[in-house]
Amino acid sequence: MGIRSVQHPQRVAVIGVGILGAAVGWNLSRQGAEVILIDAGRPGEGVTDWSFSWVNASNKTARKSYFDLNVAGLAAHRELAGIIGPDSWWYPSGHLRWSDDPAAQAKVLETAGLLTDWGYRVEVYSGAEVRRRLEPDVPMPGDVPVLFYPDEAWVHGRRLVGRLVDQAAASGAELRSGSAVRDIRTGGDGSVRTVVLSDGNHLDVDIVVNAAGPGASHIAGLLGRHLPMRREPGVITRIDCAPVPVRRPLHAPHIEIRPDGDTSMVLHSRETDALIDTGEDPAQLGRQLHEMARRVVPELSSSRIARTRVALRPIPADGFPSVGAVPSVPGYYEAVSHSGITLGPVIGRLLAAEILSGRRDEMLADFRPERFTT
C-alpha cells in the first residue's frame, strides 16, 4: 500500500511525550492539526529527563547523512529558542573534550580533522588556556590538547518538553498522561482507526505517531510491525552542588559532566554503563560516577548524590533513527531515535510536514522505517 497523504487530519495521536513526541505534537498543533498527546507517565520525565542532553553533531560522524541531520538539529534548536524563548531550557555554552589516553586522544584529533573538513567549527586549546579562558575550576595538564566545539549546547529536556506541551495545549492539543496504549485498531483497508488506552478510553484517530522511545517496538507490534531495537541501558546520576563549578558539557577522561541548572549537575560514563548488566547496584554505579567526577573537578568534593537512574536508550537496531511513514500501515508514522535531544526539533518539523503534506524530505532518506522489514 502507498503512503496516505492527509492534508488536514482530524485527529493525530502522538504516543510518547518525550522530546520527540512533544516536538512533533507542537509542530502539528501550531499548523492546525487536532493533536492528542499520550504518555503512560508524565511528559518529559522518561528518557528525556535521564539522558546526558548534549546537543551536538561532533559525535555523529559514522555516516555523513546522520551528521548532516544532527547539524540541522543544532540549527533547529536555535530557531526554536527564537520562537518559544530560550529561558530555562536552552544553554548554548559549547562543549569540551579531551583524553588522558594517547590512542584515544589521537582518535579525538582525527575526528576533529574530519569535522573541520565538513565545515564544523572546532577549536583546539591547551589545558592551561582552557582553565584560563573557559573552565577555571577544572584542573588539567597544561599541555594536553583540548577540543572546544563552540556551537554545541546542552538542554534541560524536561523543561523543554513542558514548554512545548503547554504551547501545543494553547493551540488546542489534548494531553492524556498516566494512560498507556493497550491496542491500536485498524479499519478494513488496514489504516489506523482507533487507539485504546489502559483506562478504557477509545480514541478515534486518523494518524498515529509512534514516539514511544524504549517502548516503540511494543507500540509497533500492536500493528503487526517489526521494529528491531537495541537493548542499551545507560546510568545517569544527578548531584547537588552550589555553586556549580562547571559551565558547559565536558567529555573528560572516563566521565561526562555537565551543568543541570544553578545547583545541580549530571554525570554519565560509558565505562559505568558497561557494568549495568553485571548486577551492580545502581546506587553503587552512582557512587562510582560521583568519585570519577570529583577526580576531574575537585570543587565537587562537598557535592552529594541526589538521584541515580538506569534508563533504556531508544536505539533502532542499526543505530540510526526510524522516522516517517510505514507504507504497509496507512496512517502510522515513527519518530524513534537515540540523540532525541539533538534531533527533536528537526525531526518534529520534518515529520509534521510529512504528515500534513505527504511530502518526504530528502534529509530523512537514509532513516526511513521501511528499511526494517518483517
- 170 in the same domain as 276: no
Does the pLDDT of residue 47 top 90, yes or no? Answer: yes
Residue bearing cell 518559544: 84
Mean pLDDT of the chain: 95
C-alpha cell at 149: 566545539
- 290 in the same domain as 169: no
- 41 in the same domain as 24: yes
Q: Using 50, 70 and 90 to split pLDDT, how confident is the model at 372?
A: very high
- 144 in the same domain as 165: no
Residue bearing cell 511528559: 43
- 323 in the same domain as 305: no
> 293: helix, coil or strand?
helix
Q: Examine the fold and report which residue of 275, 296, 312 is the final residue of a domain before the chain moves on.
A: 312
User: Where residue 220 sits, what CATH number does that domain have?
Assistant: 3.50.50.60
- 296 in the same domain as 269: yes
> 105: helix, coil or strand?
helix
In-domain check, residue 1:
no
Q: Using 50, 70 and 90 to split pLDDT, how confident is the model at 1?
A: very low
Give me the number of domains the chain comprises.
3
pLDDT at 373: 81
> 142: helix, coil or strand?
coil
Q: What does the alpha-carbon distance between residue 282 and residue 288 come to, in Å, rounded to a whole number?
A: 10
Average pLDDT over residues 150-165: 98
**Least confident residue range of 133-142, 181-190, 215-224:** 133-142
Which CA distances in Å does 304 have to 197, 263, 280?
Answer: 40, 11, 20
> 272: helix, coil or strand?
helix
Other beta carbons less than 10 A from residue 312's beta carbon = 17
- 99 in the same domain as 136: yes
User: Phi and psi of 15, rounded to 5°?
Assistant: -95, 115
In-domain check, residue 255:
yes
pLDDT at 374: 55
Characterize 114-141 residue by residue with b for buried, 16 or more Cβ atoms within 10 angstroms of its Cβ, and e for exposed: ebeeeebebeebebeebbeebbeebebe
Q: Using 50, 70 and 90 to split pLDDT, how confident is the model at 5?
A: very low
In-domain check, residue 7:
no
Average pLDDT over residues 16-35: 97
- 297 in the same domain as 167: no
Q: What does the alpha-carbon distance between residue 264 and residue 267 come to, in Å, rounded to a whole number?
A: 10
- 199 in the same domain as 322: yes
Average pLDDT over residues 98-102: 92
Amino acid at 265: M
Domain region containing 360: 12-50+157-230+317-371
Angle at 206 between CA 328 and CA 346, to 5 degrees: 80
In-domain check, residue 139:
yes
Q: Examine the fold and report which residue of 148, 176, 210 is the final residue of a domain before the chain moves on.
A: 148
pTM for the model stands at 0.95
In-domain check, residue 72:
no
In-domain check, residue 111:
yes
CA 101 to chain centroid, in Å, comes to 28
In-domain check, residue 5:
no
Average pLDDT over residues 156-174: 98
- 100 in the same domain as 45: no
In-domain check, residue 80:
no
Q: Using 50, 70 and 90 to split pLDDT, how confident is the model at 305?
A: very high
